[in-house]
Amino acid sequence: MDTMSIEELHTKEEIIEAFPVMRQLRTHLDENTYLELVMEAKEKDSYNMFALFEADKIVAVIGFKPMITLYYGRFVWVCDLVTDSTVRSQGYGQKLLAYVHGWAQENNYESVVLSSGLQRTDAHRFYEDRMAYERVSYVFKRSLEN
């Protein structure tokens, strides 16, 4: 019997349950800030969060939002993708990303796009070699002082 499932996280309780895994990627966030940002993004920015459960335990999390730009057209932006460090390289990230590919196709989006930190070379190999993503641009950021 398969004990694996992918489920959307809707409630505050479900989102908090995913925090220990998400924190492995977003180390700068405390639980309260994380919850506030996720809830605001869900409300204002069409952010979706899904978790992959193995035997009722969250082992991987993905957050994404549908977008439209002149450059990419109608696409899905993957904001967050992380697998628990204790179970990496078992195909969980691949399953979640494939799930988002299917979600995007079912909802008439043309592509799935993401960015990955320059230092994350293992993630780059995963995206390019295992998931057939291509490097198409650099992402630039400028922090604004208040």
pLDDT in tens, 81-100: 999 999 988 999 999 999 99
Query: Residue 2: is its pLDDT beyond 70?
Result: no
H or E element in which residue 92 lies: helix 92-106
Lowest-confidence region among 34-48, 89-103, 117-131: 117-131
Lowest-confidence region among 17-21, 52-56, 117-121: 117-121
Domain with 38, as residue range(s), is 4-130
Q: Model's pTM, two decimal places?
A: 0.89
User: What is the number of domains present in the chain?
Assistant: 1
Residue 75 belongs to domain with CATH number: 3.40.630.30
